[in-house]
Structure 1
Amino acid sequence: MKHKEPFILGVTASSSGSGKTTLLEKLIPMLIKENLRVSVVKHGHHNFEIDYPGKDSYRLRKSGAFQTLIMNDERSALITENKGSAPSFESLIERMDKSVDVILIEGLRSSHYKKIEVFRKEHSSEKLYLTDPNIVAVLTDESFTAPIPIININDIDTLTQFIITTLEST
């Protein structure tokens, strides 16, 4: 299944600890089984390091390099020092491989892309779909009605088919 542009779909929740990462760990292999190429964007609120003190790449980056590309035969990572002026999300998406079928975004609640809300009774403070028109379905461990599809949080098969149907209709 190949489209001109990747289908971008967010997975969001009103709070951390709701199970977004666990959900994506289960969903990604299911989408791959459907012959879809999948990329993921993880939006975080805290500073992070993907390189470590003592490594040559870390030393080069810390010496002032604006960008550091780490690569081997297995993978590569481009580290850019934003220095307080973070690029727009859209400009970062533009850097991603366009040959994939789906780009899943974990977090980034404010994005304008279609999103699936993870709502768990014990972890969610509010139902985001009530105020966010970009939410197209809710994954939940509760039973309630809504004007958009409600999918049991443990039913990864139904979620996979929902995503495929949504992708095919774009």
Structure 2
Amino acid sequence: MRIYGVTGWKNSGKTGLMERLVTEVSGRGFSVSTVKHAHHHFDVDQEGRDSWRHREAGARQVLLSSRKRMALMTELRGAPESSLEDLLARLDPVDLVLIEGYKRDRHPKIEAHRAATGQDLIAPGDQSVRAVASDSAGTLEVDRPVFDLDDTAGIADFVLREVGL
């Protein structure tokens, strides 16, 4: 399975870039899945719903299924967080998996960067960052390709070349 990441600091434009890349790449006929890392407690369930009640009662896994979708929720209950490799193994095969976050993992990635965050680039100290997408592309000095953050087609071309699609 081909994987490519979008990384960057908080409010750098990662999620917007991910959304645009999924639209662009899937619009070109490729199947795409995504993995998103969350740094905090999150819940995809709703308090009081049957599935929430099952988890609250102590179920380790709850599989919710309908004619339109299914969702598998796993409560770690003190177990360590799954590695990216383990999570990827759970996905159905697709042409490309786009990964948001996981900045410390070694897969190839593009860094989203907005000057307004005041954050330094990750790229200079991390060779797994293969390119930068920034709202200040013309002013960055970095030893790899730099794209305008809104150049979705150009970024998609780059990512697809990088993964051989």
1:17 aligns with 2:17: no
TM normalised by structure 1 equals 0.90
Of 70, 73, 83, which aligns to 1:76? Answer: 70
1:150 aligns with 2:146: yes
Gaps in structure 1 of 5+ consecutive residues: 1-5
- Report the secondary structure of 1:23's partner residue: helix
Count of aligned residue pairs for this structure pair:
162
Give me the whole-angstrom Cα distance separating, in 2, the residues matched to 1:59 and 1:43: 25
1:97 aligns with 2:92: yes
Is contact 1:41–1:104 with CA below 8 Å preserved after alignment? Answer: yes
Give me the whole-angstrom Cα distance separating, in 1, the residues matched to 2:96 and 2:37: 16
Of 159, 162, 165, which aligns to 1:163? Answer: 159
Give me the whole-angstrom Cα distance separating, in 2, the residues matched to 1:76 and 1:42: 18
1:1-170 matches, within 5 Å, as: 6-13=1-8, 15-85=9-79, 86-98=81-93, 100-142=94-136, 143=138, 144-168=140-164
- Cα RMSD between the aligned structures? 1.3
Is contact 1:57–1:70 with CA below 8 Å preserved after alignment? Answer: yes
Give me the whole-angstrom Cα distance separating, in 1, the residues matched to 2:41 and 2:19: 23
Gaps in structure 2 of 5+ consecutive residues: none
Q: In the TM superposition, what whole-angstrom CA distance separates every residue of 1:17-50 from its partner, at most 9, and x where no partner exists?
A: 1111111111111101211111011101111111
Is contact 1:18–1:124 with CA below 8 Å preserved after alignment? Answer: no
Could you tell me which amino acid in structure 2 is paired with residue 155 of structure 1? D
Give me the whole-angstrom Cα distance separating, in 1, the residues matched to 2:16 and 2:134: 13
Q: CA deviation at 1:124?
A: 4.5
- Report the secondary structure of 2:63's partner residue: strand
Q: What percentage of residue pairs aligned between the two structures are identical?
A: 35
Q: In the TM superposition, what whole-angstrom CA distance separates every residue of 1:30-80 from its partner, at most 9, and x where no partner exists?
A: 101211111011101111111112211111111111111111111111111
- Report the secondary structure of 1:54's partner residue: coil
- Report the secondary structure of 1:122's partner residue: helix
* Larger CA deviation: 132-141 vs 115-124: 115-124
Give me the whole-angstrom Cα distance separating, in 1, the residues matched to 2:50 and 2:12: 37
Is contact 1:120–1:141 with CA below 8 Å preserved after alignment? Answer: yes
